[in-house]
Chain A
Amino acid sequence: MSKRIIIDPVTRIEGHGKISIYLDDAGQVTDAQFHVVEFRGFEKFCEGRPFSEMPGITQRICGICPVSHQLASARAGDALMAVNIPPAADKLRRLMNLGQIIQSHALSFFHLSAPDFLMGWETPQAQRNVFGLIQSNTDLARAGIRLRQFGQEIIEILGGKKIHPAWAVPGGVRSGLTEAGRTKIRAWLPEAYGTAQIALDLFKKTLETHHRELQVFGNFPSLFMGLVTPGGSWEHHGGKLRFTSSEGTIVADQLDPQNYLDYIGESVQSSSYLKSPYYLPYGFPRGIYRVGPLARLNVCERMGVSRGDAELDNFKGMGNGAVTSSFLYHYARLIEIMSAIEFVEIYLDDPELINGQLRADAGINCLRGVGASEAPRGTLFHDYTVDADGLLRKVNLIVATGQNNLAMNQTVAQIARAYIHGGAITEPLLNRIEHGIRCYDPCLSCSTHAVGQMPLQVRLIGPDGSVLQEVARR
């Protein structure tokens, strides 16, 4: 008798998701699906708007990663105008994206994920959260909050506010870095370096006791995709795309994001509003690929900064070819934080950020433009088609969480296979499944972003539709 386990809801805000786990007659897990059951419709209701409004509109998709949408949208606008933006504007956009990476990764590690693996899967809900972390390690909790504050300060200093800054525009940016802003950011650096190093040491120590999690939290072969520089270094804004196999070989390199339709397909499932992109030449579902920190570190050959490169060497030593365990998204995130701080320091020494020209001006020179940028969670595409007046005729957005959709399904299935035997649903199992999703830090999210008493409902349903077992957590 086949059965289905449903976890619903997994989420609370602008992503209401649920998980279905399918069992065979023997009670063994056969498959799992992560569904997103909320429709947002940005691609449709943006039609008719001027392309110049899109950085402002699309950043409203999200309160967590508005900077990412703003930057990808501005790049798409650059392509429509067919301009090379001034070097200072490019560096300033990069500086803001680094701030975004730091603040978002700090949130993911310290606030969301660390309580799980530092306090233990069996720890009661009332303690396994950021307040529990505060009780057990106040200094670490404070450092995490302040590291996120550092990233937010960079965004605010450049854009005027932490959330939804109206700053990046087609052709460049609205304002540069002031001397006062540069001094303020520089003052944060020693503390930021210190916190990043503490977190790296802490997670590497955690790995010594988490062999099982390394094996079953999304450890499977897949492709990996991310931006790289022309020389194959880590890239987060601009650059070209590279696909790498789980054996560590380069499958495709220096692909122009403008032509992403030539190598990325989008599968649609009737059970979810989240599309499932795949590597087109391999077809669906064989073309499964992962994006985000783990993927970016797998596709690049070096970070391009000393502390980051030292950690990258250690990271790459954990894989046989590529690093395939999604539990190591956390480690990759911390390496990116450290590297981002190093890049911030480099940019602060650049006089062009204070005095350079900030904006190129042009009309519509191309009727279609694609902007790609690395959001904290993975590669983000904005694809706009406009008329001669710059009014949008078609919009396609490919977000990181969608690109990790197939991988999240496999991760949930792998964890469920490891811990469900005979259909029993336990609290530690729910905790592990939640964490399997959290490894990807999906931006759906408050399910995965709600630490502590995440509302969960798990139902075991027989083939006749009757509820065989129900576990609810409010």
Chain B
Amino acid sequence: MATNPHLLVIGYGNTLRRDDGVGPLVVESVGGLCLPGVRTLISQQLSPEHSAPVSQAHTVIFVDASVDAPHEVRLRPLAPGHCSQIMAHAADPATILALARDVFGHAPDAWWLTIPAMNLDFNEELSPETRAGAGEALRRIQSIAEQFCREHGKNCEAVANIS
């Protein structure tokens, strides 16, 4: 890693498809908090070149909408994917981690934070359920960031938003 240890929070999704945009909205809020040691990155979709900044991070949190059961905010550890499939202009978090490891030499500790999505129509407004999930997701990210900063102490660098 070329930079000081930092926590990278990546939000991805389409902000014009209602709840699908919850990842970018949450991460935009994270950026606004100016948490020490935290960088943010927002994108409509993950793509292979995201593996470069991911490989530079100590820890990464991918924030995404989810339509799968159970309909609750979930935080899961994530490992580099073993699957050989890659959608070449869009990729999933496990694939990005695998690319970071295989191409750039480092796969960080990673978490996948998913927020239940109820409505994917054309609109920029979140459903009430997803809005509530966004609040909970933000609290969880804050908690992880505080723990991250305690562990890395004075090495925690000032906030920098990539997006």
Which A residues lie at the B interface, using CB under 8 A?
12-13, 60, 63-64, 107, 111-112, 125-127, 129-132, 134-135, 138, 141-142, 145-146, 148-149, 152, 161-164, 446, 449-453
B40-48, B64-72, B125-133, B141-149: which lies at the interface? B40-48
Complex Cα–Cα for A162 and B49 (A): 11
Complex Cα–Cα for A434 and B59 (A): 38
Asked if B121 is at the interface (CB within 8 A of a chain A CB), the reply is no
Complex Cα–Cα for A113 and B89 (A): 13
Complex Cα–Cα for A163 and B15 (A): 12
Complex Cα–Cα for A443 and B104 (A): 29
Q: Which residues of chain A are near B99, meaning CB under 8 Å?
A: 134, 145
Complex Cα–Cα for A111 and B88 (A): 6
* Contact A145-B88, Cβ < 8 Å, known A63-B45, A131-B98, A134-B103: no
Q: Which chain B residue has the least Cβ–Cβ distance from A163?
A: B44
CB-based contact A452/B48 at 8 Å: no
Q: Quick one: CB contact mask for B95-122 with A, threshold 8 Å, 1 for yes? A: 0001100111000000000000000000
Q: Which residues of chain B are near A145, meaning CB under 8 Å?
A: 48-49, 51-52, 99, 103
Q: Which residues of chain A are near B1, meaning CB under 8 Å?
A: none
* Contact A131-B84, Cβ < 8 Å, known A145-B52, A145-B99, A145-B103: yes
- List 25 interface pairs A-B (beta carbons < 8 Å), by A numbering: A12-B87, A13-B87, A63-B90, A107-B89, A111-B48, A112-B88, A127-B84, A130-B48, A131-B98, A134-B99, A134-B102, A134-B103, A135-B102, A145-B48, A145-B51, A145-B52, A149-B52, A161-B163, A163-B44, A446-B89, A450-B86, A451-B85, A452-B84, A452-B86, A453-B85
Asked if B34 is at the interface (CB within 8 A of a chain A CB), the reply is no
Q: Which residues of chain B are near A64, meaning CB under 8 Å?
A: 89
* Contact A141-B88, Cβ < 8 Å, known A149-B52, A152-B49, A163-B43: no
Q: How far is the CB of A127 from chain B (nearest CB, A)?
A: 7
Q: Which residues of chain B are near A451, meaning CB under 8 Å?
A: 85-86, 88
Complex Cα–Cα for A93 and B144 (A): 42
Which B residues lie at the A interface, using CB under 8 A?
16, 43-45, 47-49, 51-52, 84-90, 98-99, 102-104, 163
Q: How far is the CB of A66 from chain B (nearest CB, A)?
A: 10
Q: Which chain B residue has the least Cβ–Cβ distance from A455?
A: B85
Q: How far is the CB of B131 from chain A (nearest CB, A)?
A: 24
CB-based contact B102/A149 at 8 Å: no
* Contact A60-B16, Cβ < 8 Å, known A141-B103, A452-B84: yes
CB-based contact B90/A131 at 8 Å: no
* Contact A148-B44, Cβ < 8 Å, known A132-B84, A450-B85, A451-B86: no
Q: Which chain B residue has the least Cβ–Cβ distance from A138?
A: B103
Complex Cα–Cα for A127 and B49 (A): 21
Q: Which residues of chain A are near B98, meaning CB under 8 Å?
A: 131
Complex Cα–Cα for A164 and B42 (A): 13
CB-based contact A130/B89 at 8 Å: no
Complex Cα–Cα for A141 and B49 (A): 11
CB-based contact A130/B88 at 8 Å: yes
CB-based contact B102/A131 at 8 Å: yes
Q: How far is the CB of A458 from chain B (nearest CB, A)?
A: 19
Q: How far is the CB of A320 from chain B (nearest CB, A)?
A: 34
Q: Which residues of chain B are near A127, meaning CB under 8 Å?
A: 84
* Contact A129-B84, Cβ < 8 Å, known A64-B89, A162-B43: yes
Q: Which chain A residue has the least Cβ–Cβ distance from B90?
A: A63
Known: A12-B87, A450-B86. 7 other contacts (CB 8 A): A13-B87, A107-B88, A126-B84, A131-B84, A131-B102, A163-B44, A449-B88
Q: Which residues of chain A are near B49, meaning CB under 8 Å?
A: 145-146, 148-149, 152
Q: Which residues of chain B are near A141, meaning CB under 8 Å?
A: 102-103
CB-based contact B44/A452 at 8 Å: no
CB-based contact A129/B52 at 8 Å: no
CB-based contact B87/A450 at 8 Å: yes
Contact of B89 among A63, A132, A452 (CB under 8 A): A63
Q: Which chain B residue has the least Cβ–Cβ distance from A149?
A: B49
Complex Cα–Cα for A19 and B99 (A): 32
Q: Which chain B residue has the least Cβ–Cβ distance from A104?
A: B89
Q: Which chain A residue has the least Cβ–Cβ distance from B88?
A: A111
Complex Cα–Cα for A164 and B98 (A): 27
Q: How far is the CB of A60 from chain B (nearest CB, A)?
A: 7
Which of B16, B45, B48, B84 neighbours the largest number of chain A CB atoms within 10 Å of its CB? B84
Q: Which residues of chain A are near B88, meaning CB under 8 Å?
A: 107, 111-112, 130, 449-451
Which of A13, A132, A163 neighbours the largest number of chain B CB atoms within 10 Å of its CB? A163
Q: How far is the CB of B163 from chain A (nearest CB, A)?
A: 8
Complex Cα–Cα for A163 and B12 (A): 12
Q: How far is the CB of B20 from chain A (nearest CB, A)?
A: 13
CB-based contact A138/B102 at 8 Å: yes
Q: Which residues of chain A are near B89, meaning CB under 8 Å?
A: 63-64, 107, 446, 449
Q: Which residues of chain B are near A162, meaning CB under 8 Å?
A: 43, 47
CB-based contact A449/B52 at 8 Å: no
Q: How far is the CB of A108 from chain B (nearest CB, A)?
A: 9
Contact of A142 among B86, B90, B104, B163 (CB under 8 A): B104
Complex Cα–Cα for A146 and B51 (A): 10
Complex Cα–Cα for A342 and B57 (A): 33
Q: Which residues of chain B are near A452, meaning CB under 8 Å?
A: 84-86
CB-based contact B102/A129 at 8 Å: no
Q: How far is the CB of B70 from chain A (nearest CB, A)?
A: 27
